[in-house]
Amino acid sequence: MKKHFVTFLSPGTFVSETTTKPIASWSVEMAKAMVGGITERHGATPYGFMFTTRERGPKDLDSKVVKTSGVYYLGGKVETLAQVKRRATKDDETLIWNMKANKMERIITNTNSWKFTAELRKGDVVVEWP
């Protein structure tokens, strides 16, 4: 048995808030259509989502994740370390330090809900969002 899921990611206090729902396939358009019904604590709404596929064999007690996508960010601004340094203000000192220390090539800043900044990793995608 195999089933697909979409996990919506919203800004949280220390870690992202998540809501996972079943989905017929790894359809970006289908997932984007589902975003409107998601609201987390403090009114946070999704900055992105990711897909997973779970599978269970006939002798398995529970399913296991067999495939995971990157994060699909709902719009946002992508910047390199050089770009962040060029526009840097005093508020960016910690971000620059973290990018250097963690060897981050690119970040994404999303403001769909609360401001959210994260590393844009290989396999992540920024999709068009109103």
40 domain-assigned:
yes
Residues 86 and 62 in one domain: no
Tokens read off for 45: 């709404």
129: DSSP letter: -
Residues 26 and 83 in one domain: no
Residues 55 and 83 in one domain: no
Pick the closest to residue 108 from 66, 47, 62, 58 (CA basis).
47
User: pLDDT by residue for the chain (130 residues), tens digit each?
Assistant: 999 999 999 999 899 999 999 999 999 999 999 999 999 999 999 999 999 999 999 999 999 999 999 999 999 999 999 999 999 899 999 999 999 999 999 999 999 889 999 999 999 999 999 8
Tokens read off for 95: 């971000």
Q: Is the pTM of this model over 0.85?
A: yes
Q: How many domains does the chain have?
A: 2
Residues 66 and 78 in one domain: no
Tokens read off for 48: 């992105």
Q: Is 103 exposed, middle or buried (0-12, 13-18, 19+ CB in 10 A)?
A: exposed
Residues 51 and 85 in one domain: no
Contacts of 41 (CB under 8 A, 6+ apart): 12, 17
Domain boundary among 55, 73, 91: 73
Contacts of 33 (CB under 8 A, 6+ apart): none
112 neighbors 74 (Cβ within 8 angstroms): yes
Domain boundary among 73, 95, 111: 73
36 domain-assigned:
yes
Residues 68 and 88 in one domain: no
Domain that holds residue 107: 74-124
Residues 92 and 46 in one domain: no
User: To 5 degrees, how large is the angle CA 34–CA 38–CA 39?
Assistant: 165
130 domain-assigned:
no
Residues 67 and 94 in one domain: no
